[in-house]
Amino acid sequence: MLAILEKVPDGYDARFHRSFGHSAEAVWSMLTENDKLSRWFSELEVGELREGGFIRFNMPDGSFEKLDILELNPPSILEYTWGEDRVRFELYPEPEGCRLVLIEKLQAITAHTPKDLAGWHVCLEVVRLMLDGEEMPSRKEEWESWYEQYTRHVDAFLAEEGGQGN
Q: How far is CA 155 from the centre of its chain?
A: 20
pTM: 0.94
Q: How far apart are CA 105 and CA 112, in angstroms?
A: 14
Give the model confidence (pLDDT) of 89-147 as tens digits.
999 999 999 999 999 999 999 999 999 999 999 999 999 999 999 999 899 999 999 99
Res. 163: pLDDT tops 60: no
Give the model confidence (pLDDT) of 15-70 as tens digits.
999 999 999 999 999 999 999 999 999 999 999 999 999 999 999 898 999 999 99
